[in-house]
Structure 1
Amino acid sequence: MPKLLIVDDETVFRRGLRAMIAAKDGDWEVVGDARDGYEALELLEQLRPDIVLTDIRMPRMDGIQLQNIVRDRFQGMLCVVISGYDDFTYVKQSLRHGAIDYLMKPVERAELFQVLDRLQEKLKSAAAQKPSAAAADERQDDYQARRHTGDHLVASLNRNQVGQQDLDLLARIGIQFDDPYYASLVIKLDKQSIDSERYSSSDPSLFQLYIQQFVQEILDNRCKGFSFVYSDTEVVAFVNLPDPDGSRTKLLEIAESICRQIKSLSNMTVTIGVGRPVKGFELVPITFGEASIALLYRLVVGGDKVLDYEHTSKDNHFKTSMKKWKWEALEGAINGGRTDEIGACVETAIADLCSQAQTPETVHQHICKLFIHYYELSEDLGIARSWLGTQDIRTLIIEVCAISSQDELIAHCKDLFGRLTASIASGQQHVERDPIQKAIRYLERHYAEPITLKEIADHVFLNTAYFSTLFKQKTGSTFVEHLSGIRIEEAKRRLLLTEEKITSIAERTGFANIRHFNRVFKTETSMTPKDYREQSMNLSQHKTS
């Protein structure tokens, strides 16, 4: 029995069609109905009807947009459009896009039955090509498996840890990531591009489902990647790349294409944060974090664009634009952990900004930049949790941007920057006001990446030669020696606790090649990596015997 889905924004019309179809000798099964294209998308994935009977004019995604998605994503599914007489131009457009037939409102019973008979003949003639019921069940199982994999990746990212188990899940659904580099895209719907009433009356997950399916389609056509719904407002995509440099341009082109095509087909816009490529799947949380931070700049520069972390992290606009206002004392108090000064510094800085800014938006933009700057710093110092607790940085910034009173803004910023300053001042964090301690923490977080002396000196705002001398004085070893030590310790841990190949361990601990790794490892431990692993295994077996 052929299955049919009805899509129309009028409840009475949907009920009327159901009743007429049910009266036709029991030849058809209406498996569901939807109020618009967005609601229909999820039902299409779940129910896989043979026919979609859709109105053209609907308040969110219209029938023509839905028809385009059906044509591209659900091969073999047929569309019939319904329209009023005044919209016959749209009917002709639908027919050009592949609609099999059309009905004019108000739908007459005899005309409906004639169309259904033609559809039944069409389905019979295509029976040889139509997938079997077993194949349809397999498709449904695949859909559920993809959702399960997406849920698992969300949980892994929230723990800030992904690993082989996630790659295994991807492999089970046919996603083979065999290139060495990975990058993340975080795609966020620009809610202001949608009428507020239209958005509030809808299930937000439907918008994300539409975006996720759209993103996956583009990835399937252009690269190796997997997308999934991360939250009610964000979709995340992982892209597998053969190299970090040549593929970066392609990555940005894909992101730009997603922005353009979603805007063109759905009359809504998205903003995309792009993280830098990392080597090894276990480092995916780093590129995901970078993409999320890049996306925060949407609050500063607006939506409907691609925001590349590498570009935003090198952008000096924050530093130069702040020189107009008295931020030096504020930054000094925060970075120095001086809790007794922070309140007065915040009050002076915010009042000065408000007196000179041209618009309220300018005030919010600069404060957003300041929060993003210190969020990145708190991540590097390892104090983001003690500063913000369970609060999300994006929620925090949105709350700040909703404040329209100068007094309220000062009070809010006093609280936030006061807690940040206290976090820096308390416990073990206060020692990291020392640039060498800050540099060491950075090395411990980024040892797997190629790091130069100049890069780390710039990170702690010191001259390269002075930093090199100071580092040797404070630690008793050179920058290169200390970095090699961190890498060797991590390599020893992997050799002891994992079954990774030695070449893979060399790559994932930051060594340029296996020969360099072997040479440094033997210098540090007086044995080769292979001998170290075998000796450790022998000792372990001896202890357990």
Structure 2
Amino acid sequence: MGSTEEKYRVILVDDEPIILRSLKAAIPWDDLHLEIAGEARNGEQALQLVRDTEPHMIISDIRMPGKDGISLMKEVLAENSQRLFIFISGYGEFEYAREALREGAFDYLLKPIDHDELIGMIMRAKKHLSKQQENDKLLHSVQVLSLLARERLFAEFIEGNQSPLQHMRWLENSELEQGYFMAVVQLDHYVKLNEQWSIDEKRLWLFAIRNIVSEWSLNQGGLTAFPFHSGEWVVLFPDKLSDRKISLGNDLIGRIKANTKLSCSTGFSQNMIGIDQLNEAYQNAAQALYQRFYSGQEGVYVFSESAATAIASEAKYPKQLEESLLECVRKLDRQQMLDLFDEMKGDLENQALTKEQAERIIVELTIVLYRQFEGMNLMLEWSLEGLLQEINSLPTLSEMIAVLKDCFGQWMLQSKENYSRGDVQAVIAKATSYITHNYHKDLSIEEVCDLAELSISHFCLLFKQETGYTFLEYLTQCRIEKAKFILQNTNVKVYQVAPLVGYQDPRYFSQVFKKLTGKTPSEYREEAG
């Protein structure tokens, strides 16, 4: 069989003769069952050579005098889109390489040329050509479903939309009737990556990962592989491979990381039968991936009934925890606040909520705490929107809690530093002096807080710490002391004393006076006299 196999034709294009000689000598073309159909020193020569020899594969320098590699490729592919281009580029030409991939290049290699890497690339290209030829032969067979239609069919069933595609059931492949399981591959930190990538970079990265997943799936005996949601891919395997789920997942994660430096996690479903169970298989795999939120690291997760039943149907908002955290902020009790965050993490883990449920609770608590800090005029380095976006971008519970502890903990430390002992004493002394000179007016706490440039809650906390009294207790004490002085040293009538010390109602003044001194104003004057 091997002797009758058609040799694929290759042409080499480079303006440096030494590179052409190196490529011809270092690559075992005969062993790869390839033949060099010709070589060219520039793009114009190469274009004529392509038309003369009709090669299957072109290995070309990306930058050459005159017509460069990308211009050459555009003209060649316009005439025959099935020819494969592998480009060689320098380190400073990455933008050219990216453009080449966008325009349809099979792959590219950086100088200096690693011949082993090039051989691997050529072997992949050869395999691609073989598959391409096989597909061409079967193109008109109704047994072969086009990739896009097949993916669309599977995607619709995964989404649970079966009725719109009943007329396509003839396309259904019997492979799913023999039993299968699903792997869902998700990029970790995808929200952050999506913000960082340009549109072209995103397209390039997702295209690269799709190629890796598809090629790997084919080599592992997978049934099909295709992108589902952005940053997520679905792979279907025959159920005979079900005892290899962990090793398959680890192998794929390692392959993606080695080729792209990006981390991902994989969730596996139970074994299923028939296309109608694609939706359930996806739900299985997605539920398995919930564990990624709690584990705090990339990994392989397999669906189990016990884990599924542990997922709460409805998340209960921790109102008591909210009150405790708010109290910590009011008291600037940093350590207790950090301990409560750890307690919250444990509670969420024990409830085994979905990422969405847990995140909703975290977001609500964050908003409440942020508003409390804001209301106390404490220094906030992040906007509320920025903080919520950061939480949303994190893939694990541990990272979310860590951000809350770091942000709120730092803000609390800064608040304490901003109010040293001397500063606090000076601010409260200013407030007590103001009360002493204005006790006879209709004095409000808002007025004093404005003077002190503090929120009401923060002022109350500091005032009580310094004086031992609440604002109202201190004001009342000050007014009664002034009343006692007037009663002892003047002949002002008792009912006239009340407005002199800030009380418009003489009866109420008498009640307050007796509560603090044990005597009515009249009794106090008689005993003092």
Q: Give the shorter-chain TM-score range.
A: 0.3 to 0.5
Larger Rg: 2
TM-score w.r.t. structure 1 length? 0.41
TM-score w.r.t. structure 2 length? 0.42
